[in-house]
Amino acid sequence: MLIRHQLFVKIVATAIVTLLSVYVAISTLLAQQRSVDNETLLVNALRTVAQLSSLAHEFALHPAERITEQWRLQQQQLSRLLKRLQQSLPEEHLAIVNLAQRVEHVDSIFSRWQASAQYAFNKSENQTLMLLLQDDLVVESQAMIQLSFDIHKNSIDIIRHHSNTSTFQMLGMLATLVLIIIVLSVSSWHSMIVPLGLILAGTKQLQIGNLAHLIPVHSEDELGEISHALNAMSKQLHYNQHLLESIVDNTSAIIYVKDKNGGYITINHAYEALLNTNRKTIAGKTDHDLFTKQIADVLRANDLQAMQTGKAIAIEETAQHADGVLHHYISIKFPIYDVKSRLLGSAGISTDISERIHIEQQLASKTAELLQSNEALQRFAYVASHDLQEPLRAIYGFAELLQRKYHDKLDAQAMHYIDYITSGATRLQAMIQALLHYSRLETQHIESVAVDLNQAYGWAVDNLQRQIRDTHACIGCVQLPVVKASLQEMGQLFQNLIGNAIKYAKPNLAPKIDISSEYHQGDWHIKVSDNGEGIAEEYWDQIFEIFKRLHGHSHSEGNGIGLAICKKIVEKHGGKLWLSSIPGEGSTFHVLLHAA
């Protein structure tokens, strides 16, 4: 039941009982008053009867008119009193009627007396009658007194009884009232005071931050609702707090809150672990208590900067901890305010980037090493272009001189050896040139312009004239597109691809090479297909690697660099070069280049 309903019921009940009590009290008072009145009436009646009796006695001794008049007056008064008594004391109705009859009787005696006095024929007879009446009068008056005493006695008992009854009623009513008040108090104690105490205790727990505390009030009234709402609120707060704490305490970053003067307010688990302390111990301490002055000064300056600028700042910081190692941090520091936007202090989240710094340093040194080795490579390329070729030139040149000047002095065998020398030198020079070209592609930037591939193709075919003629190669080429590239490198690309197709043609079969192109999403896909021996799929990637040769020297004059150069050229242009082939039927080189 709701408290307001309970209260309503209690108030109504109390009011009814109170009204009843008041009614009983008033009626008791009235009854008491009536009793007193009745008593007074009785006493008056008794006194009147006594006076009547004494008048009767007096008359019996000295009959006189004056006495009968007084009697009559008293009798009238008594009649009035008896009438009232009859009304207020119905229980004594018979006795009162009896008394009234007695009085009437006495009155008749008086009347007879008067009559006999007026009509006294005989003095002695009269005397005798008088004596008789006198005796009657005495007897009647005594009976009258007796009767009135009886009435008085009985009436007093009745009146007392009435009075007692109403007193008991009132006491009973009062007892009921007290009982109801006690019952109401106990019920209120249980339904309101106890739950209120529990709610008060619960809110005090909330105040000190014990959000896990739940108020044990489950009644279905307003207090139950209040405690339910408070419990829901503390659960929500607890959940939010737990969520926040989970984030703050489970992160590997260190988090801290400081007051305006740099004194720590709180820190998270990660920072506690790092400092080997806890948030209670650290409260109030400053960075100057934890670090060297040099480090603490910087940290403090950064805190101040965040508070002064009024927004989050990101800075790199260093700090030395118990492990003695200087840690590098990236710190986000920001001012914090209370609900009225007054500056409370600063807070920060610092992530240890020592590992990253270490890796960066390693990377820097690796980069330096790489640069060095790249420089070494370029030096090598330079050396290769000069120093490797100079002795080669001597070998080649003098072998040729021997052939020219001493051909008539040397036999056929010697001339044959000299041929070996010159062809070896030629191959070596071609290899050196290719290698130089490859290293140049590696290091140099290529200027891309709109290049007509037909022109590059023409240049390649011109350079390959001898091989084409010697092998009776048939090259079919449709109109080629314009791409973004370097003309020279494109010429080289075609020369190498076509040369390669000629070189690896099937023996005893004239090479047939087809060049086609198709446009595909901003790129040109150029295909160079041949009818050569083809290449097994496992070698499709290998053949583009430098110095990878699938055939021995005797088979062809390849130097193992041509296709590697092709791949490098295409990649330098941001394109792709790959191979597809059916062994025994031929190969297709696919070139993907950006359209101009």
Is 276 a binding residue for other proteins by CB under 8 A? The answer is no
Name the minimum Å distance from CB 383 to other proteins.
Answer: 9
Q: What angle do CA 79, 81, 83 make, to 5 degrees?
A: 70
Q: Which is nearer to other proteins, 400 or 523 (CB)?
A: 400
DSSP state of 311: S
**Among residues 397, 476, 583, 584, the one that binds other proteins under rule CB under 8 A:** 397
**Among residues 172, 197, 391, 476, the one that binds other proteins under rule CB under 8 A:** 391
Closest CA to 7 of 188, 181, 183: 188
Q: Is the Cα torsion angle 561, 564, 565, 566 positive or negative in sign?
A: positive
Is 379 a binding residue for other proteins by CB under 8 A? The answer is no
Q: Which is nearer to other proteins, 126 or 389 (CB)?
A: 389
The first and second tokens of residue 582, run together, are 């059916």
**Among residues 71, 110, 271, 396, the one that binds other proteins under rule CB under 8 A:** 396
DSSP string, 525-574: EEEEEE-S----GGGTTGGGSTT--SS-TTT----S-HHHHHHHHHHHTT
Q: Which is nearer to other proteins, 381 or 591 (CB)?
A: 381
Q: Is 262 in a helix, a strand, or coil?
A: coil
Q: Strands 343-352, 254-259: parallel, antiparallel or unpaired by DSSP? A: antiparallel
Contact 475, 513 (CB under 8 A): yes
**What is the Cα–Cα distance from 181 to 13, expressed in whole angstroms?**
10
Name the minimum Å distance from CB 413 to other proteins.
Answer: 22
**Given the rule CB under 8 A, which of 92-100, 212-220, 389-397, 580-588 is the region that contacts other proteins?**
389-397
591 by Cβ neighbours in 10 Å (0-12 / 13-18 / 19+) ranks as buried
Name the minimum Å distance from CB 396 to other proteins.
Answer: 5
**Among residues 259, 400, 452, 523, the one that binds other proteins under rule CB under 8 A:** 400
**What is the Cα–Cα distance from 551 to 296, expressed in whole angstroms?**
71
177 by Cβ neighbours in 10 Å (0-12 / 13-18 / 19+) ranks as middle
CA 364, 365, 367, 370: dihedral to nearest 10 degrees?
A: 180
Q: At what angle do helices 3-61 and 123-188 cross, to 10 degrees?
A: 170
Q: Which is nearer to other proteins, 250 or 426 (CB)?
A: 426
Is 393 a binding residue for other proteins by CB under 8 A? The answer is yes
**Given the rule CB under 8 A, which of 39-47, 198-206, 349-357, 400-408 is the region that contacts other proteins?**
400-408
Phi, psi angles (nearest 5°) of residue 338? -85, -175
Name the minimum Å distance from CB 449 to other proteins.
Answer: 17
**Given the rule CB under 8 A, which of 26-34, 275-283, 382-390, 582-590 is the region that contacts other proteins?**
382-390
Q: Which is nearer to other proteins, 391 or 583 (CB)?
A: 391
Closest CA to 584 of 487, 522, 509, 521: 509
Q: Which is nearer to other proteins, 427 or 594 (CB)?
A: 427
Can you name the residues that pair with 588 across neighbouring β-strands? 529, 580
Q: Which is nearer to other proteins, 220 or 390 (CB)?
A: 390
Is 419 a binding residue for other proteins by CB under 8 A? The answer is no
Is 376 a binding residue for other proteins by CB under 8 A? The answer is no
Q: What angle do CA 483, 488, 489 make, to 5 degrees?
A: 70
Q: Which is nearer to other proteins, 18 or 422 (CB)?
A: 422
Is 583 a binding residue for other proteins by CB under 8 A? The answer is no
**What is the Cα–Cα distance from 364 to 368, expressed in whole angstroms?**
6
**Given the rule CB under 8 A, which of 114-122, 329-337, 383-391, 412-420 is the region that contacts other proteins?**
383-391
Q: Is the Cα torsion angle 60, 62, 68, 70 positive or negative in sign?
A: negative
Is 406 a binding residue for other proteins by CB under 8 A? The answer is no
Q: Is 326 in a helix, a strand, or coil?
A: strand
**What is the Cα–Cα distance from 494 to 513, expressed in whole angstroms?**
12
Name the minimum Å distance from CB 399 to other proteins.
Answer: 8
Q: Which is nearer to other proteins, 369 or 387 (CB)?
A: 387
**What is the Cα–Cα distance from 138 to 59, expressed in whole angstroms?**
10
Is 426 a binding residue for other proteins by CB under 8 A? The answer is yes
Q: Which is nearer to other proteins, 312 or 401 (CB)?
A: 401
Name the minimum Å distance from CB 542 to other proteins.
Answer: 30
Is 394 a binding residue for other proteins by CB under 8 A? The answer is yes
Contact 529, 535 (CB under 8 A): no
Name the minimum Å distance from CB 499 to other proteins.
Answer: 20
The first and second tokens of residue 332, run together, are 């986000």
The residues in 324-343 that bind other proteins, with binding defined as CB under 8 A, are none
**Among residues 390, 447, 462, 537, the one that binds other proteins under rule CB under 8 A:** 390
Residue keyed to tokens 């590997």? 252
Contact 354, 325 (CB under 8 A): yes
**Given the rule CB under 8 A, which of 244-252, 394-402, 455-463, 569-577 is the region that contacts other proteins?**
394-402
**Among residues 198, 392, 414, 446, the one that binds other proteins under rule CB under 8 A:** 392
Closest CA to 492 of 422, 577, 426: 577
Q: How many residues lie near other proteins (CB under 8 A)?
A: 21
Is 425 a binding residue for other proteins by CB under 8 A? The answer is yes
Residue keyed to tokens 């690697």? 545
Residue keyed to tokens 């790199």? 316
**Among residues 387, 447, 537, 571, the one that binds other proteins under rule CB under 8 A:** 387
Is 429 a binding residue for other proteins by CB under 8 A? The answer is yes
Q: Which is nearer to other proteins, 296 or 431 (CB)?
A: 431
The residues in 435-464 that bind other proteins, with binding defined as CB under 8 A, are 436, 440
Is 65 a binding residue for other proteins by CB under 8 A? The answer is no
Is 572 a binding residue for other proteins by CB under 8 A? The answer is no
Q: Which is nearer to other proteins, 15 or 376 (CB)?
A: 376
Name the minimum Å distance from CB 309 to other proteins.
Answer: 51
Number of Cβ within a 10 Å radius of residue 495: 21
Contact 132, 153 (CB under 8 A): no
Name the minimum Å distance from CB 382 to other proteins.
Answer: 7
Q: Which is nearer to other proteins, 12 or 394 (CB)?
A: 394
Is 125 a binding residue for other proteins by CB under 8 A? The answer is no
Contact 562, 496 (CB under 8 A): yes
Name the minimum Å distance from CB 569 to other proteins.
Answer: 16
Q: Which residues bind other proteins (CB under 8 A)?
A: 382, 385-387, 389-394, 396-398, 400-401, 404, 425-426, 429, 436, 440
